[in-house]
Amino acid sequence: MHRQTGLFKVALCLNNLKVTVISMGRHTIFVTIALAFVWNILMEEFSWQNAAVGMFMGILTMHFVSKFFNFEDIANVSFFKLILFPFWLIGRIYMDAIFLIKLILRDAKWGIMVTKLDLKSETLWNILADSITLTPGSVYLDHEEQQIMLLCIGDRKKVGYPGIVSDLKSIEGFLQKSQKQ
């Protein structure tokens, strides 16, 4: 019976980590650097020790994420084009909140809306669903093929939900720019 030493276990773990990092794709290095940068910001001090620990934590995080996340699903998404999306979405959320307050004070109606969208990546559909849920006045219900179903609020005097549709189309347009052809 072969007894494994502590050093052998560490070497085996590092070998598995190296294989995991190599199999994740070319975005791994950029994500690791971004995680190290966030680590240094959270530590509120830049030093070479913090940078090294940040890189190690980034690699470790990517290793654990790779165990639960299939990286082939995000092959059709350009993350460099998607970097500005969170900032744009925060602005959209505030604008929609102001619009929604005005709408509720007047006369609002609730309803279910189904519309067709043109997103090819399942990852972008998930980002769209999360974005819609964060945006005031709409809740993501389901999507089948290229159609999306929302529970949303609208103006009782207008037919349909033109405000929600325009918001949805603007979010879709932003996400389509990050979709690889």
Question: What does the pLDDT average to over 56-81?
Answer: 75
pLDDT in tens, 14-30: 455 444 444 455 667 77
Residue 10: is its pLDDT beyond 70? no
0.85 exceeded by pTM = no
Q: Which H or E run contains 110?
A: strand 108-116
d(CA 59, CA 31): 9
Average pLDDT over residues 125-143: 84
pLDDT average, residue stretch 55-65: 83
User: What are the backbone angles phi and psi of residue 62, rounded to the nearest 5°?
Assistant: -65, -35
Domains of the chain: 6-69 (no CATH), 85-177 (3.90.1150)
CB of 149 within 8 A of CB of 142? yes
Asked whether 96 and 139 are in contact (CB, 8 A), the reply is: no
